[in-house]
Every structure is written in structure tokens, then in C-alpha cells.
Chains A and B, each alone.
Chain A
Amino acid sequence: MTEDINNPEIPVPEELQGLVSVTSLDKIYNWGRKNSVWPMMFGLACCAIEMICVAASRYDFSRFGMEVMRPTPRQSDLMIVSGTVTKKMIPQIVRLYNQMPEPKYVLAMGACASGGGPFKEGYSVVSGVDKFLPVDVYVPGCPPTPQALLHGLITLQKKIERQSIRKVPWYRKGAAESIPVPILGPDLIDPRDFPTYDQEQQRANVKEKSIES
């Protein structure tokens, strides 16, 4: 591990190798974070079963420092959106995301979470969680195999590695803005759509008529 974080430009005397590392703040900070990503214990659908299998002994993601799955968003770093995101559930998902402390990451596991999947054409499925949350890693598959999820998690670790403490948003001034929670109306209402709402609806009605005819 020490080779990972050591700055190659500064040589460490031979007798101290393995005991002392000379590194940058960014590197040690990210090294710590990427090896202790705590996912939220949060399962939505079929993919959750594969997620559990990844947590179990055969695939075992605790090898990557991820064994501490937290049922509460307040203690988790990573939200694995494992399954179909429905319109009835998205308000809760957004609320959970808002409750997670920074730094936080979202991994869209499977076809449904990435883009609606096989159920996309239906009336109560959100076409991908990225319509509401910023997604860091997409893992394709229906459901993704445990190996695919592990690959996604490693990809996330690489992403964490590349972040710089000077640029990360959570050390900037001002509180991070939370995502407005969607509302369940006659259909899902996204508060961010309010200004453009009426206009869009008219266009939708026109479009629908043209498709029908």
C-alpha cells in the first residue's frame, strides 16, 4: 500500500521503507477515503439481491473496505441504487440522498437505475435515477453480475483517487444545495420543472395527439 501513496520524486531511505511515506495531502486523503467507502444498506429490487451476494463471502467487497453497510444515510458515503426507481419511491430516494453527508457518491446499479431498463415504457417507472441524482458510476446489466458490480466499485475508487482537495465542492463556501424532493401528484411532479411546466404540458398534449393520429 505504501507504494501507492508514496511520492516517487522523494526517495525514502531504505531502512525506513515500509515505515515512512512521503506523500501529498491529496493522496493520503483520497487513499483513506477510497478504502473506506461505506455503502448505504439500501435495496430497491432484483439488483439488491446481487448486491447482497457481493457483500457475502464469495465475492466479498469488504476486501475493498466496503463491508460496513449502513442502514442510515447519515453514516454512508455511497448510495448504490440497486434496482428499479419508481415514481412512488423517488421522493424517498431524493430525501435519502439529501440526508447523506458530503462527500457522497451515487452508483446506478443495473439497467433500471441507469435508464429505466426493461420497465422503462411503463407508467410508474422513472427513466433512470440520473433524472434526479448526480450519478458517478453506471453499472450495466440486468442484474449486473457480482463481478460487474465489483468493477463498478473499483471504478468509483479510481474516481475518488483523482479528486483534489482544493477543488472538491464540500470544502467550498456555502452549504451544498439539496435536491428538491419530487411530489406525488396525478403523476410525478418535479419542483424544478415549475417555470417551464405549462409550456411543456401543452407541447406534450400536441405531441400525443400527433402520435395517436
Chain B
Amino acid sequence: MGPGVGEESLDMLEERKKTILDEIRAHFDGEILVDEREGHEGFLVAPDRLVEFATAAREELGYDYLSSVTGVDYLPDEKMEVVYHFFRSQGGPALVIKTQTPRGNPSVPSLVPVYPGADFQEREAWDLLGIRFEGHPNLKRILTWEGFYGHPLRKDWHEPYYEEDNKPFKSRWPEGDVIRIEDQIPFHKNVHYPEKFSAETWIPEGDAGLYAGLSRVPEKRSGNGQPLKTDQIVVNLGPQHPSTHGVFRMVVTLDGETIVDLQPVMGYLHRNHEKIAERNTYIMNMPFTDRLDYICSMSNNLGYALAVEKLMGIAVPERAEYIRVMMAELTRIVNHLWAIGFLLNDLGAFFTPALYAINERELVLDVFEAVSGSRMMCNYLRFGGLARDLPDGTFEVIKELVTNRLPRKVEELDLYITSNEIVRARGIGVGVLTREQALAYSAAGPVLRASGVAYDVRRADPYSIYDRFDFDIPVRNNGDVYDRYLIRIDEIWQSLRILEQVIRDIPQGEIQTGKSPYQVRVPRGDSYGRVENPKGELGFYVVSDGKPNPWRYHVRAPSFINLTAMGEMCKGQKIADVVAVLGSIDIVLGETDR
């Protein structure tokens, strides 16, 4: 049974929450408050006690994994809130910490010294909400650019095409006479400048700040102690570069061919998913989640559906749960095939392995097209069920794929690639991320498990019906590129194992609780729904104020947060290895930049 489903699991959930509560209370007697707003969970900590509290949570309570950091703009209360979700790497529910700061000058201490994984997430909160994190080593904009006007996720910040706060917009339906805002706004290029801004006299900021922030090549001395003249070479990889899997940019400082510093630069595909989502109604966001990690649209749907279902407290019929798991696992196979194909691409085996991988992917895409009508952007899940049942014949296709075709083909890939000399030479010992680093940098998914941490949300904090299936969490211990490749092969095998059980056990019956509504009623509160996406933990933090639109909608994107460790993995490696390391992290820019 999934979270929020059935009385038994609800009781269990309550009990687990109480245990955390008792632990916390014992540690911080009277210093932290329980968040007692309707439907909200977690604890409120004063900003000046935050670092102390986080350190204690890590050292004493064992919450060693900071999953998500985000801000919420509570405009009516004149407050900004920063929300932290901590987990234990052994598994279990979240420890939710919130800290509030006045909206006029929002500032909280940075958690980067305690949890380095907060780095990019705090930068994102600064960029989009304007919350200052004191003590952050590099508090610059991350998704927009340096010099951008305003902080777009603030509730009183209006985008150029602003019409109303919430959809559906009135202009779209008075007597069928649609007025398009882009016809009303004279700026044909949809831009929005501050008042008294003059383009002629304005001087662009450029990348000077970025280059200045890179660490320098250490001074070299010759044999007799004389300082040698060394040059620092800065290389830009991307945003248009065949190896960056999209529009991702890395700025690298080199000493010869060795990497001294690497700074990821992103935001080239920032599509303001969160701002649009806060204008949308709940159900309107489902197709937008498809476009986050566009290789894994089915499991993105699942994460969002779980978050909202948790708030609504509705159950999902048995058959729908099985089909959801089936689609999520097929997605995992598709994603890992794709990742392996393109990792090989990056290692120099240009396109041939990828062609084999894509070939198998196409077969699964046919299934997706059959069930949802679209190859990639499935938009298949609904709150409380699915959009439609499996069409006739699809089940047999899936069965054939799972029991016959895919195992054969994965074996073939394994046979050709795993023991390949070049793959081993380019992979073993390259881009190492140790167990401690992986946890500290909040790495997720295959990246975390290749570093020896057996953490998988499906097991650590089971959702949907994953607690019914018999499967292993593969772990590898070296944390290098080769292990991150192997772990994906392992995971495909485990997914096939789960799929076999799904095919064996899937019942007949309903696929939707009640009628699939156009408008859902979501009670007040906040919830964090997370799933083990192929790329790592995908979390949706949703705050509802009881209206048809989410007040806050945040995506904890694994591709984005896994990149926090990128610099660390690459330091001391050769420039050519950067491409391999990036390929082994397996990012998708739609999710990185959102």
C-alpha cells in the first residue's frame, strides 16, 4: 500500500512520525516548535539555531542525507520560509525542518559547511526567491544569469506575459472569444525591464565573475626553487558541445591537461517550470512533469501523483498500482539503456552502442505510445489512478519484451561492453566519488549506489506497492565511471525481475478511484512525494492553500543535484575524462534546469 493509502499504513506512518518527534524533542528541549499549520508537517527552527540543529541532526540523530532545500514565499504573512528535507541513509521517513525569515530582507545561514549538497539548491533558492544564504561560498545566480532583474518565483514578481495569478485565465473563455496576452503586450520578444533602464548605456556583466571565481593553478617551482612561470588555461565545454547531453556548460581550469577546477554552468534550458506550475491547476501540471526528465516521463508522473495524492489522501486501485509500477520500471530500463549507449558515445564508441540501445528503447516506446498515445510525453497518470487502461494486446507485448527480448539484448550489451578493454581503461578509477562524499553531496540514484551506499527510495521509504516485490538494491563500491556503468546493468536486471512479478500478479479491475476529475480538491498542507527515478531521487514538494492551484511547487531534481559533486569528481583528472564522468552521472537538461 502506498503512503496515504489504507488505514494500516496511515497508522504506521503516524507512529514513525511520533518516534522522530520524540527523538527531536529529547535533543532540543523546548527550542524548536512543531509546525502546527493545518496539514503541514515538520519543525520550525529559528534561523540562528539552524546550523547547530542541522549539525546535531547529522551527528547525533543520523540524518546524514540532505535531500531537498527549497524556499516558499508566504506573501500574505510577509515571510519567506526555507524547507529542508533530511533523511537517514539507512532508510526511514523524512525529518522536515523549516526556518522562517522576514520577507523584506530574507536571510538564513548556509548549510553548505555541514551538508555540501546544499550548494546548488541554496543558489537556486537565492536565484529564484532572493533568499540570502549567509556564509555560502559562491552565492551566485544559477538558473537565470547574473544581472537578471528580480527573483522570479516571488509571488509578487510578474512575468512579461502575466495575466492573472491563477489559471484558468478569465480571458480564455468569455463566450469562446479567446484573447491572447501576447497580442496585448507590445513587446514582441516578451521581455520585461526595470523602470528607468536604458539599453544603450548599460554594460553587460558577462562571465568575468565566473572566471574570477575559479581556483588558480598552484605555483610551480623549478629544481632550484625558482618560481616557474605557469599559465592558467580556461576551457569552456558547452553549451553547444556534442558531449554535454544538451545545453550544459562546464568551465574548466587546466594545468597542462589536468583539471584544477571545474564549475558547472547551467540554466540554458531553464523553462520556468515552477512558476508556470504555480499558476496552473494541479492536473494541468501533469503534462509539464513529462517534460522534466524527458526520457522518463512515466516515473515523473508517478512522483507528482504521489505528492498530490498524499495531500488529498486518496487511494489508488490495485490494478492501477501495478500498471504504474510496470511503467516506472519500463522507464528505468529505457533510461539505463539510453544512458549506457550515450556513455559509450562519450568514451569514443561513437553511436554504434547507442544505436543498439535506441533500438530496444523504441520497442518500449511502442508500448508507451499504445497506452498513452505519445512516445515520449506520456501524461498517463492521474490523481487516484491512470488515464486509461492497457489497450488490447499491449499486455502480451510487454510480456514478450520482459521475458524474452530485453533479457537477451541486455545480456548482449553486457557481453560486448562490460569486459571491453577500452571501457575498463577509461572507466576504472576515473571520476571517483567516495561513499562519504556521495552522501555529503546529496548524490542520488546510481551515482550514490555506485559509491557503496545502498540507498534506494523503493526500499528505504517504500511508495506505491514496491514493498510487495522481491528485488535487490544493487551496490558497487568503487564509485568510479566503470561502477556507475555496471550499476545500470544491474538495475536493468532488477527492473526485469520486478516486471516479471508484476506480470505474474497483475489483477483485473478498476484503474481509477471514482471519476477522473478535471479539477481536484486539495486540502491545505504541504507534502513531499518522492520516487526513485532512474536518475535518482525525484521529489515534489507541494504546498497547498486549499485553492485549485498549488501555492508552491518545487521539484527536487536528481540530475541537478548530482551535478553538485561533478567538480569534486573531476579534480585531478584529465580533460578528456570530464566527458566520461558527465556521461556516467547521466543528466538530462530538462530536469537540471527545469
Contacts and interface: CB of A to CB of B under 8 A. Distances in A.
B145 interface: yes
Interface in A24-56: 41-46, 48-50, 52-53, 56
A203 B362 CA distance: 51
B359 A56 contact: yes
Contact of A211 (B184, B246, B247): B184
Interface string B445-462: 000000000000000000
Interface stretch (B7-15, B61-69, B287-295): B287-295
Interface stretch (B43-51, B188-196, B575-583): B188-196
A125 B186 contact: no
Interface residues of A, number: 58
A194 B358 contact: no
Given A45-B589, A57-B359, A88 B268 contact: yes
Nearest to A198: B198
Contacts of B186: 200, 203-204, 207
Contacts of A92: 239-240, 247, 268
A189 interface: yes
B152 interface: yes
Contacts of B162: 208, 211
A145 interface: yes
A125 B359 contact: no
Interface string A135-149: 000000011010000
A83 interface: yes
B376 A56 contact: no
A3 interface: no
Nearest to A122: B272
Contact of A121 (B189, B194, B276): B276
A17 interface: no
Contact of A84 (B197, B242, B269, B275): B269
Interface stretch (B52-60, B199-207, B504-512, B513-521): B199-207
B294 A45 contact: yes
B348 interface: no
Nearest to A42: B240
Contacts of A11: none
SS of B interface (majority): loop
Interface string A50-92: 1011001110000000000001000000000001101111001
Interface string A103-135: 000000000000010111111111100010000
A50 B189 contact: no
B200 A88 contact: no
Contact of B271 (A41, A42, A122): A122
A53 B301 CA distance: 23
A211 B185 CA distance: 10
B496 interface: no
B160 interface: yes
A201 B269 contact: no
Contact of B199 (A41, A86, A131, A185): A185
A1 B267 CA distance: 47
Most buried by B among A56, A194, A205: A56
B246 A48 contact: yes
A142 to B, nearest CB: 6
A71 B241 contact: yes
B161 interface: yes
A50 B376 contact: yes
B358 A57 contact: yes
Contacts of A194: 199-200
B197 A44 contact: no
A126 to B, nearest CB: 7
A207 B267 CA distance: 30
A167 to B, nearest CB: 29
B45 to A, nearest CB: 32
Contact of A193 (B185, B189, B195): B189
A209 to B, nearest CB: 11
A197 B198 CA distance: 8
Given A50-B376, A86-B269, A186-B193, A44 B200 contact: no
A188 B270 CA distance: 14
B144 interface: yes
Contacts of A189: 191, 199, 202
Contact of A131 (B144, B189, B198, B241): B189
Given A183-B204, A197-B199, A143 B377 contact: yes
Given A121-B276, A131-B188, A185 B147 contact: yes
A187 B159 contact: no
A184 interface: yes
A67 B194 CA distance: 47
B180 to A, nearest CB: 10
B193 A201 contact: yes
B246 A123 contact: no
A86 B270 contact: yes
B358 A89 contact: no
A154 interface: no
Contacts of B358: 52-53, 56-58
A43 to B, nearest CB: 6
Contacts of B275: 122-123
Given A89-B247, A186-B197, A197-B199, A49 B362 contact: no
A181 to B, nearest CB: 11
Closest 6 pairs between A and B when the two form their complex, measured CB to CB: A122-B272, A186-B149, A123-B159, A46-B294, A71-B242, A119-B271
Given A116-B190, A190-B189, A207-B185, 5 more contacts: A124-B271, A131-B189, A184-B204, A187-B191, A189-B199
Interface of A: 41-46, 48-50, 52-53, 56-58, 71, 83-84, 86-89, 92, 96, 116, 118-127, 131, 142-143, 145, 183-190, 193-194, 197-198, 200-201, 203-205, 207-208, 211
7 contacts: A43-B247, A45-B269, A119-B273, A122-B271, A187-B148, A187-B160, A208-B162
